[in-house]
Amino acid sequence: MIDPHESKRASLAVFALLYLGFCLSYIDRSAIALSFVAIGKEFHVGAAALGVVMSTFYIGYAAMQIPGGWLADRWGSKKVIVVSILSWSVFTLMTGLAWSLASLIAIRFIFGLGEGGYPGAAMKGMAESCAREDRPKLFALLMSSNYVGSFIAPLAIAPLILTLGWRHAFVVAGVVGLVFALFYLFAVKDTHQKRDSAGRPARIDGAATRALLKMPLMWKILLTWFGMGIVNKGLDAWMPTYLLTERHLDLRAVGMLTPLPFVAASISTALGGWILARWFDGREKWLMAACCAISGFFLYAMYTAETVAGVITCQAIVYFFKSFVFAGVFALPAKFLPQKLIGTGTGMVNFGGQVAGFVAPAVIGLLIAVTGNYDAVFSFLIVATAFAFVTSLSIRLSPEADSRIGAVEEA
């Protein structure tokens, strides 16, 4: 008989390692932005070419979301997690060895493919190691690592670049990832089961995949996160420039202020799963819709704020409430999907957010180029929250939805 305390400790250990893996992934992906000035000087390229380098990562990352989750559902999380960490670590290291702009673009695309398999596989790993009723809380808490990683990345990478140079900084980061992958390989037990307790196949197949992709409920969740992902990635990409050009701050002040909203976001994402389970069980959409509306209101307040303190305060409030939506869109699939579809389902949801990550910065850049100001930008972001508000209200675990979920479980 399995000791429940031992099982609990094992689940917490897996959670801690997966959380650390997310943080490492954000440190590795953030290193490129911190190195742009040095890379541009060495390769004699400008901002447009460096922007291509950044976008290339997101193309690979988005493309791998659903396949990565599917592979974890098919073969178990451990294999995909280890291969994913090894892949992105090798190509983090390779970034430091890039010999031209073309090689750097190719390396970052493959880096994105490698890292793109991790989110769905990580969620699958939690599903394999924890009880179903604990999944919504743990999934949301695990996703808070995204903001923690964004906060600590400059603190970890900047000193390495200043001390060792950008090339050696990437080599160090890559070696750390390789060591972590090997540790995960030997420290974590493979808990993937080929059959469930009822004797049915516990890994995904073609019929189950098709049933999942046909579920309107999953597409509503995906579109909700796409709408709020526009806000998420748009502000992440353009807030420093907005503060520099429109609010006339210097770079040092921007560096001090921009991490603050990530602190608010990490807190709300960590609390989101617990609040959803405690007070909004079965009513998740109402919390998500309310948070979309509040985010839209404070986006307007942020744009019309007269002081920099007001801008940053409103941005922190936006990040706080939009991150409840972030928690919700990952907690919901954890609540109703069978274990064999967790990887594919969460990969599907995250695909919506990553497409937003590719679309939002480009659209905002175009709006600024055409209008010469940020009026249309904030209107675009507020419309995105309205879109997410409408799609979140359409989420409903109706008898029809329950029957579709049952069909997926039987597939």
- Residues near 363 by beta carbon (within 8 Å), at least 6 away in sequence: 234, 380
The confidence score (pLDDT) of residue 4 equals: 53
Give the span between the Cα atoms of 32 and 39, in whole angstroms. Answer: 9
Distance CA 223, CA 225 (A): 5
CB atoms under 10 Å from CB of 201, counted, come to: 13
| pTM reported for the whole predicted model | 0.80
pLDDT tens-digit series, residues 82-131: 999 999 999 999 999 989 889 999 999 999 999 999 999 998 998 888 87
pLDDT score for 193: 60
Structural domains of the chain in order of their starting residue, each with its CATH number: 1-192 (1.20.1250.20), 205-411 (1.20.1250.20)
Q: Which residue has the tokens 């090339």?
A: 167
* Cβ atoms of 331 and 136 closer than 8 Å: yes
157 close to 34: Cβ distance less than 8 angstroms = yes
The reported pLDDT for the residue numbered 378 is 94
User: Mind spelling out the 3-state secondary structure of the chain?
Assistant: CCCHHHHHHHHHHHHHHHHHHHHHHHHHHHHHHHCHHHHHHHHCCCHHHHHHHHHHHHHHHHHCHHHHHHHHHHHCHHHHHHHHHHHHHHHHHHHCCCCCHHHHHHHHHHHHHHHHCHHHHHHHHHHHHCCHHHHHHHHHHHHCHHHHHHHHHHHHHHHHHHHHCHHHHHHHHHHHHHHHHHHHHHHCCCCCCCECCCCCECCCCHHHHHHHHCCHHHHHHHHHHHHHHHHHHHHHHHHHHHHHHCCCCCHHHHHHHCCHHHHHHHHHHHHHHHHHHHHCCCCHHHHHHHHHHHHHHHHHHHHHCCCHHHHHHHHHHHHHHHHHHHHHHHHHHHHHCCHHHHHHHHHHHHHHHHHHHHHHHHHHHHHHHHHCCCHHHHHHHHHHHHHHHHHHHCCCCCHHHHHHHHHHHHC
Report pLDDT for 79: 93
In the Cβ-directed half-sphere of 208, how many Cα atoms lie within 13 Å?
23
Residue tagged 């997966």 (tokens): 18
Give the tens place of pLDDT for each residue, 2-53.
455 557 777 888 999 999 999 999 888 777 777 777 888 888 877 667 767 7
Cβ distance 35 to 173 under 8 Å?
no
Can you give the pLDDT of all 411 residues of the chain as single tens digits?
Answer: 445 555 777 788 899 999 999 999 988 877 777 777 788 888 887 766 776 777 788 889 989 999 999 999 888 899 999 999 999 999 999 999 989 889 999 999 999 999 999 999 998 998 888 877 788 788 888 888 888 887 787 778 878 888 888 899 999 999 999 999 999 999 888 766 655 555 454 566 677 788 888 899 999 999 999 999 999 888 877 777 788 788 887 756 766 777 788 888 888 888 887 888 888 888 889 999 999 999 999 999 999 998 988 999 999 999 999 989 988 898 888 888 888 888 899 999 989 988 888 788 778 878 888 888 889 999 999 999 999 999 999 998 654 454 455 555 555
Could you give phi then psi for residue 131, rounded to 5 degrees?
A: -70, 150
Please give the Cα distance from 30 to 152 (Å, whole number): 10
What confidence score (pLDDT) does residue 113 get? 93
Spatial separation of the C-alpha atoms in residues 102 and 141, rounded to whole Å:
38
